[in-house]
Every structure is written in structure tokens, then in C-alpha cells.
Amino acid sequence: MKRILRDTCILAALMILCVFTVSMIWVGMTDEIRLVICLFGLSFVISLANYFIDEYTTLPILKCYAVKYVSASGIVMLFGFIAGWFYKSNFWMAFIYVGIVLVMAYFVDAVRTRRDIEFINSKIKSKTVHVNK
Amino acid sequence: MKIETREVKGQPLTVVIEYPEWSESVESLYKKIGRMDLSFTGKCDDRSVNIGISDIFYIENVERKLFLYTRDEVYRFDGTMADIENNMYDTGLVRISRTCIMNTDRLKEIRQIKNSHLEAVLDNDEKLIVSRKYLADIKKIFKRKAL
């Protein structure tokens, strides 16, 4: 199921990219196309920032997500102001958008980490039992 | 597949593969056994020593210098992390952080410690910090071993 969901998201992203690229060639730049390109650019910058956070820090899971929250909110706000998504009165909405995504990601990550640890330890245990036999 | 073992004193460890016909599975077995014999040359007190992969507990990069850790000894390795990574396919070695490669054959337990850090406990009770990012790679090794 996890793989189907992941493949669905990748396929949807590719479809959106293809459709909007063709539209851009056909009808030129519209607001919708600009929005999609901005969203892809935003995702790339956030992923890059997350990569460096994961690679160069060994923070506990909660602190790691807190750092990612601050960095992603900053990037979204910066992008939002440049692209004109936010006005001075509603810039705080970036914190809510990023917060919702990161809270979901945190829970998925925490469950996955626990399961991976259980899996690895069970394999080590079964190996030890075999050796002892 | 028939597995036979026999003790031959005074001889180096020898593995003979008898096969009715050379096939992909025989080749895979041949490569796998070959990789078990992989070794790195480490330096300790100006002498060079060949260290078998099974004797290595972990490899650490400390200030751009590589060190091979066995149960009780530490050796300097004149190579790069990339040299090791190029040779570690299908072995028990796996990267667990930006600066450390661990031998999963020497892993006793992985646990989540108080502040949610991940810690690998090795057979000699040494503890290493594991980056969550690399946990999936460790899992992959154990999945592959189970096959």
C-alpha cells in the first residue's frame, strides 16, 4: 500500500509537470503554470535544506523536526513573499501549512523508525539463536 | 545444495564449490564467498596489517583520517570512504552516519535512547550513534541476509 501511495504521488507530480510544460509551450506562461513551477521549485529547495539537516546534524527526532519546521517555514515565507502568495497580514499562515505537513511527517517517521528497529533486532535475535543451535 | 565441512589442520581456510554446470547462482555464490574474504590494509605502529572484513567492527572518519576498529585494535587506513564504499556491496558493511561505516555482522542491537537518538550496540559493547537517515539502509542489509 505504501508503495502504491508513493508511486501515485510521483506519477501525479510527473503528470502535472508534463501537462503544464506542454501548456506553457502552447499558451505561454499563465498564473496557474507559474504557481506549479513555484511549487516544484519550493519543494526542491525544502528537500535540499532537509538533506543538509539530515546529513550534517545528528539531532534527536523532535529537535530535528523543530529545525526542519523553522527552516521550511522560512523558505515558504520567503517564496510566498517573492511569489506574492502572502500579504503582510497573513504571512503567519506559512507556519500553519508547514506545521501540518511536518506533524504528519513526524508521526510517519516515528512509527517507521520504531518498526525498522524492531525488524533489525528481530533479525539479529534469530541469527543469534541459529548460531547458538 | 549439499554443504559439507571438514577440519584440515595446518591449511588455510579453503572453500571448494562443486557444480554440475556453471550458472548465475553458482556465480553469485562464488562472488559472495569472494567478498567474505575482502580485506583492507591498516597501519598500526608503522606495520601494515591485512584486516579481514569480518574482523572489522566499524570504520570511522576522524578529521579526514580513516580508522578501522576491530575488537581491541585501531588501525589507520590510507584510503577514502569512497574506496571502502566501492568495495562494500553485498558485504555486511553499511554507512550509519556521515563519518561512520558499521559492520552489521558485529551488531548486537539497535535502540532508541532517551533523547530519541539511535544507538547501535556492537558485540564488544561499543556504542555508535546512528543517523535516522541510514536506518533504512541497515534494514535493507538484514532483508538481503534473510533471502
pLDDT of residue A128: 67
Note the pLDDT of residue A54.
81
Nearest CB to B138: which of A56, A109, A120? A120
Locate the chain A residue with the closest alpha carbon to B117: A60
* Amino acid A131: pLDDT: 58
Please say if the pLDDT value at position A78 is more than 70.
yes
φ/ψ (deg, to 5) at B5: -130, 145
pLDDT surpassing 70 at residue A82: yes
Closest CB to B108: pick one of A60, A62, A124. A124
Segments making up each domain of chain B, as ranges? 38-146
Rounded average pLDDT over A62-80: 87
The per-residue pLDDT for A129 is 64
**Nine-digit cell at A82?**
517573492
Helix runs in A1-85, H state only:
2-27, 31-56, 61-83
Residue A61's pLDDT band (cuts 50, 70, 90): confident
Residue B12 to residues A38, B15, B70: CA-CA distances in angstroms? 64, 10, 21
Gap between the Cα atoms of A25 and B147, Å rounded = 49
Q: Which residues have CB under 8 Å from A114's CB, separation 6+?
A: B112
Residue type, B32: K
> Are A124 and B107 inside 8 Å of each other by CB?
yes
Question: From CA A45, how far away is CA B143, in angstroms rounded?
Answer: 33
Beta carbons of B110 and A55 less than 8 Å apart? no
Closest B-chain CA to A55: B98
d(CA A41, CA A35): 10
Contacts of B138 in chain A (CB under 8 A): 116, 120
Nearest by CB to residue B117, choosing from A60, A114, A119, is A60
Q: Residue B120 in contact with residue B96, Cβ under 8 Å?
A: yes
Q: ipTM score of the complex?
A: 0.77
Q: Place A40 in a pLDDT band, splitting at 50, 70 and 90.
A: confident
Point out the residues of chain B with pLDDT beneath 50: none
Task: From residue B133, give the alpha-carbon distance in Å to each of A4, A90, B20, B60, B111.
Answer: 22, 34, 44, 17, 15
Given a cut of 60, whether residue A31 has pLDDT beyond it is: yes
Average pLDDT over residues A38-53: 89
Q: Which residue of A has its CA nearest to B140?
A: A120
- Write down the mean pLDDT value for chain A: 84
Entry pTM: 0.72
Q: How crowded is the C-beta side of B93, counted as CA atoms within 13 Å?
A: 28
pLDDT, tens digit, 9 for 90 and up, residues A94-120: 788 888 988 888 888 888 889 999 999
Q: Which CATH architecture has domain B38-146?
A: Beta Barrel (2.40)
Say if residue A133's pLDDT is above 60: no
Record the cell numbers describing residue B83, joined without a space.
574506496
Shortest distance between the Cα of B76 and any Cα of chain A, in A, equals 24
Which residues make beta-bridge pairs with B128?
Answer: B120
Contact indicator for B69, B57 with CB cutoff of 8 Å: yes
Q: What distance separates the 2 farthest-apart alpha carbons in chain A? A: 71
Query: Would the CB atoms of B139 and A114 count as touching at under 8 Å?
Result: no
Partners of B52 in beta bridges: B39
